[in-house]
C-alpha cells in the first residue's frame, strides 16, 4: 500500500462529491443536517483479529465492550449524543456460543451505560479471522458538533483524562506481565476504555471550545489531523502531558518511557480539543500546548518526534 493509511483516505475523499451542508470524510463522524434543529452523526469502525486484538489475549467480554466503546468515542469526539448502534460480525468456525454470549454481555454493558441500543447489523462466516464492524448513530443540536477543522491560532490545546495508559496496558499484555496491581489497572484501561460521551456533550455546548476529536491513534497522530484540517500548527510541551500514577509507577518499575507512551501511543479514547484562552471549560482537563498560525507540530521538552499509530 504505497499511499499509506491517510494517503489512501485522502485519495478516496477526493473521489467523492458531498452535498452542501453535509460533512463527509475527514472527521470522527459524518454530519447530516436534519429539519428539526438537530444534526445526525454517523461513524463506523472495524476491529480485525490479529490487527486490533489477539483472540488469545483479550477476553470476549472486553472485546465486546471495546468494540462498542471505540465507536461511541467517535460520537463523543464530535460532542454528540449516541442514539443507536449496528453490529456486523464475521465469525470463524469454532467460536463457541459461550464466547459470543460473553462478547454480547460486554457490548451491552458499555452500550447500556450510555443508553444506546443495538438496532441492527449483519452476521456472516469468516474463513479465518474474527472481524467486527460497528456503526453508531448520534445526534447533536444543529451547528453544535465540534469539527477537527475549527482550531484557531492562539487556542489552548487540551486533553481530558490521562494519556498513555492504554499503550502501557498493551505492553503489559504483550509482555505477559501481572494481571493485578498497577499493571492490572493499565491492562483494564486498554481492554475496557470508557468513551467520554458526557464530557464531549458538555464541551460542544460551551462557546469558546473550537476543534475537538477523540484520541484513538495518540496525540502525535491525532493532533496532526486537527492541524491539517484547520490549516494551523502547534507547540506541545511533553512535560505537561497528563500521566496517571499507575503509568508512572509501571514505567519506573519496567524502565519504560512514559512520555513516548503518552505522546505516541494510541487507544486512550480521551478527548483532544482546542479553546480560546479564558474559556470556562466545563470538564476536568489539562492544557498541553497552543495552536500556532505557522504549520507543523513542535514538541517542547524533548528532542524526539512522536507520530502515533498508523496501519500502513
Residue 26 near ligand ADP by CB under 6 A: yes
- Distance CA(202)–CA(208), nearest Å, equals 12
Written as one string, the DSSP assignment of 182-230 is HHHHHHHHHHS----HHHHHHHHTSTTEEEEEE-SS-HHHHHHHHHHHH
Q: Which three cell numbers stand for residue 154?
A: 492562539
For the CB of residue 81, give the shortest distance to ligand ADP in the complex, in Å: 18
For the CB of residue 25, give the shortest distance to ligand ADP in the complex, in Å: 4
Indicate the residue among 9 and 119 with the shorter CB distance to ligand ADP. Answer: 9
Residue 205 near ligand ADP by CB under 6 A: no
**Three-class SS of residue 99?**
helix
**Three-class SS of residue 59?**
coil
Q: Which of 3, 4, 7, 9 binds ligand ADP (CB under 6 A)?
A: 9
**Three-class SS of residue 119?**
strand
Task: Please give the DSSP secondary-structure letter assigned to residue 19.
Answer: P
Indicate the residue among 99 and 309 with the shorter CB distance to ligand ADP. Answer: 309
For the CB of residue 14, give the shortest distance to ligand ADP in the complex, in Å: 11
Mask 27-46, x = binds Mg ion (CB under 5 A)?
A: -x------------------
Task: Mark the segment that binds ligand ADP (CB under 6 A) among 20-28, 110-118, 160-168, 254-262.
Answer: 20-28
Q: Which of 183, 214, 217, 267 binds Mg ion (CB under 5 A)?
A: 214
- Distance CA(306)–CA(47), nearest Å, equals 24
Q: Which of 74, 165, 268, 270 binds Mg ion (CB under 5 A)?
A: 74
Amino acid at each position: 500500500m504505497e499511499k499509506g493509511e491517510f494517503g489512501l483516505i485522502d485519495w478516496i475523499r477526493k473521489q467523492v462529491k458531498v452535498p452542501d451542508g453535509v460533512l463527509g470524510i475527514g472527521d470522527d463522524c459524518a454530519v447530516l443536517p436534519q429539519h428539526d434543529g438537530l444534526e445526525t452523526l454517523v461513524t463506523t469502525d472495524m476491529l480485525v483479529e490479529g490487527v486490533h486484538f489477539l483472540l488469545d489475549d483479550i477476553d470476549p467480554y472486553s472485546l465486546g465492550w471495546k468494540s462498542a466503546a471505540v465507536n461511541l468515542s467517535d460520537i463523543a469526539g464530535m460532542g454528540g449524543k449516541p442514539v443507536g448502534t449496528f453490529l456486523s460480525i464475521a465469525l470463524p468456525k469454532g467460536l463457541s456460543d459461550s464466547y459470543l454470549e460473553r462478547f454480547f454481555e460486554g457490548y451491552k454493558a458499555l452500550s447500556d451505560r450510555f443508553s444506546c441500543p443495538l438496532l441492527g447489523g449483519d452476521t456472516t462466516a469468516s474463513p479465518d479471522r474474527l472481524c467486527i464492524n460497528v456503526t453508531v448513530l448520534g445526534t447533536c443540536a444543529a451547528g453544535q458538533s465540534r469539527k477537527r477543522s475549527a482550531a484557531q491560532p492562539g487556542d489552548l490545546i487540551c486533553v481530558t483524562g490521562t494519556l498513555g495508559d492504554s499503550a502501557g496496558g498493551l505492553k503489559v499484555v504483550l509482555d505477559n506481565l501481572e494481571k493485578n496491581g498497577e499493571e492490572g489497572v493499565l491492562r483494564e484501561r486498554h481492554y475496557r476504555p470508557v468513551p467520554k460521551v458526557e464530557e464531549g456533550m458538555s464541551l460542544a455546548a460551551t462557546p469558546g471550545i473550537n476543534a475537538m476529536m477523540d484520541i484513538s491513534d495518540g496525540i502525535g497522530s491525532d493532533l496532526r489531523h486537527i492541524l491539517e484540517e484547520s490549516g494551523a500548527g502547534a507547540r506541545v510541551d511533553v512535560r505537561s502531558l497528563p500521566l496517571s500514577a499507575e503509568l508512572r509507577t509501571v514505567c519506573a518499575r519496567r524502565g519504560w518511557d512514559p512520555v513516548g507512551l503518552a505522546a505516541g501511543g494510541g487507544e486512550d479514547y480521551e478527548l483532544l480539543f482546542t479553546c480560546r484562552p479564558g474559556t470556562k471549560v466545563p470538564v476536568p482537563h489539562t492544557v498541553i500546548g497552543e495552536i500556532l498560525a505557522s504549520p507543523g507540530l513542535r514538541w517542547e521538552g524533548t528532542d524526539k518526534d512522536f507520530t502515533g499509530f498508523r496501519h500502513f
